[in-house]
Amino acid sequence: MTGRVRSLAERLLESATQTLTEAGVASPRVDAELLLSHVTGVPRALLVQRARPTEEHRTAYLELVDARARRFPLQHLTGQAAFRYVDLEVGTGVFVPRPETELLAGWAIDAARESGRGAVVLDLCTGSGAIALSVVDEVPHASVHAVELDEVAHGWAERNLLGTGVDLRLGDAFEAFADLDGTVDVVVCNPPYIPLDAWESVAVEARDHDPALALWSGDDGLDAMRALERAAWRLLKPGGVVGAEHADAQGESAPAVFAGRWLDVRDHRDLADRPRFVTARRP
């Protein structure tokens, strides 16, 4: 008795999974499925049952798998990144938002709600606009502002924030919004935080394809955090709060930046129980 004949979709997925596994991709089967779903338009969960790839699909798929094997970010190949309840356009020149940053965004959303109607929220180092878009999506009564220094990344944020009412600016995150000094309820930031000597430890996708401005931050990775501490002190009203992501090795050093003049300095862990972001309150 012969076994069931595998469909073209199954054969493509198996071959792609092997290729991506050999290339060192962290989630080879998932990425293979997401790429085939992107090419065929069939939901990932239904690929084996419903996908009927054409020759054009097959050619496009193999090209994408080859690019992914060369460690191009998956989101750059599909052009989209999911973040909380929103979808973002992403591509070359912008930092791809990570799932762990959704926790920081959730903290900012809760803080904005607690601040009441018309809460003023600043997203510094906005990149693709992920946090700002999530805040305005989930707290529509908030007054949301965002800033990005890199011109290419700023262009991506413009696309993602178009029509949302977010005040998006181009400039240095830690010098921007002088017009809002002392009036802000929530400052949130996913700053660069990788030490300059940590090159080898960074995933190829980030090291080779995310903008350098979004990654590196001095010898200890905390140069941007120190600049953020000074900027947040200037921007926040009394009782306002700041939250910032950091590397999992900075669970003590990042909160230490806010020690002294800040209240309620606290570090928060991610879903993998790793130190992930610090929050503090202005007296």
What residue segments make up the domains of the chain, in order of their start? 8-70, 92-281
- Among 98, 100, 128, 93, which residue's Cα sits nearest to residue 212? 93
Residue 42 has pLDDT above 90, yes or no: yes
- pLDDT above 70 as % of the chain: 95
Instruction: Answer yes or no: are the C-beta atoms of 125 and 148 closer than 8 Å.
Output: yes
The tens digit of pLDDT for each residue in 91-138 reads 989 989 999 999 999 999 999 999 999 999 999 999 999 999 999 999
The tens digit of pLDDT for each residue in 143-201 reads 999 999 999 999 999 999 999 999 999 999 999 999 999 999 999 999 987 777 766 66
The tens digit of pLDDT for each residue in 264-275 reads 999 999 999 999
| CATH, domain range 92-281 | 3.40.50.150
Q: Report the 10 Å Cβ neighbour count for 232.
A: 26
The tens digit of pLDDT for each residue in 50-92 reads 999 999 999 999 999 999 999 999 999 999 999 999 999 999 8
Rounded to the nearest 5 degrees, what angle is found at the Cα of 160, between the Cα atoms of 72 and 142? 135
Q: Report the 10 Å Cβ neighbour count for 201.
A: 11
Q: Report the predicted TM-score, pTM, of the whole model to 2 decimal places.
A: 0.89
Q: Residue for token digits 């991709």?
A: 25
Per-residue pLDDT, 183? 98
Per-residue pLDDT, 78? 95
Helix (H) or strand (E) holding 22: helix 8-22
pLDDT band at 1 (very low <50, low <70, confident <90, very high): very low
Q: Quick one: 144 exposed, middle or buried, by C-beta within 10 A (0-12, 13-18, 19+)? A: buried
Per-residue pLDDT, 193? 78
User: How far is Cα 147 from Cα 131, in angstroms, rounded to an integer?
Assistant: 11
| φ/ψ of residue 186, rounded to 5 | -140, 125
Single-letter residue type at 48:
V
